[in-house]
Structure 1
Amino acid sequence: ELAGLLHDIGKIGIEDRILMKPARLDPDEQELMRRHPIYGASILEPSAALRPLVPIVLAHHENFDGSGYPQGLKGDEIPIGSRILIVADTYEAMTSDRIYRKAPGHDRAMEQLNRYKGTQFDPVCVRALQTC
């Protein structure tokens, strides 16, 4: 639960012009944004109380098939907390309005999660969300 609240804390190290950009990020901006899990892990690491969250925060953009970042982990190499978090975070992103778009909604979110289970998402985590 706490990892869900703190997973994007590393965005504090990203310039506001990138975070608040109302359009798609260019490749250089994407590369900077991809550093936020590393920044987040370095923020949490010094705290003994928060240190157990470091692997979850660091891996919350890893994809089930190994195509994610920052470490290219895949399958069970990705902490279960991160695998749950990426499903929950994607669902939340697709059911909430953004500066640059209206929310696609629940049905579209579930369609996308199903489409990418086994590649981006852990199929077990997607099925768990479906049963909620």
Structure 2
Amino acid sequence: MNEQELDLLNKTALLHDIGKIGVRDDVLLKESRLTNEEFEQIKLHPVLDESILKQIEPAEAMAPLLPGVRSHHERYNGGGYPDGLKGLDIPEFGRIIAVADAFDAMTSDRPYRKGMPIEKALAILAEGKGTQWDPVSLKGSLMFIRFKRR
């Protein structure tokens, strides 16, 4: 990516979960397993992400961020949300952020669990190659994570 694309990716990544402000705290911070209804609320946040960013002016500054924030929970095999996109139909920024977001979620402490060791998270990411995550985005992300750990 060139410098401008990296800047847009960075901005998209920073804003990718802004829609969670529209999800109740008792759901976001719940220490036990989510009910089906609660999970459906969580699944709305990518749509809320997009809706919030569409309200920010100038609209043309936000437009390049919208596909990535909306699609960061799509799965490479089509099993994600909110649109059930598959493969390369998932916008590139969404495919990249999906890997980074999963790695962060697995390795970070949460109210309901401790973060897992980095090597375990990397193994889980590798297992999901081609099903949950784009193989190309995953390969680049894994190389970056390993490089940053040196």
82, 88, 91: which one aligns with 1:79: 91
26, 35, 54: which one aligns with 1:26: 35
* Aligned length in residues: 132
**Higher helix content, 1 or 2:** 2
* 1:52-108 deviation line (CA, Å, top 9, x unaligned): 211111111000010000100011100100000000011111111111111112101
Q: RMSD value over aligned CA atoms?
A: 0.9
Query: 4+ residue runs of structure 1 moved beyond 4 angstroms?
Result: none
In structure 1, stretches of 5+ residues that fail to align are none
Give the % identical residues.
48
Matched letter for residue 131 of structure 1: M
> 2:45 & 2:16 partners in 1: Cα distance?
9
Shift of 1:51: 2.1
Q: Is the radius of gyration larger for structure 1 or structure 2?
A: 2
Q: Does 1:130 align with 2:142?
A: yes
TM-score, with length taken from structure 2: 0.85
Counterpart secondary structure, 1:5: helix
Specify the alignment match of 2:103 in structure 1. 91
TM-score, with length taken from structure 1: 0.96
In structure 2, stretches of 5+ residues that fail to align are 1-9, 145-150
1:94–1:109 Cα contact (<8 Å) kept? yes
Specify the alignment match of 2:127 in structure 1. 115
1:22–1:100 Cα contact (<8 Å) kept? yes
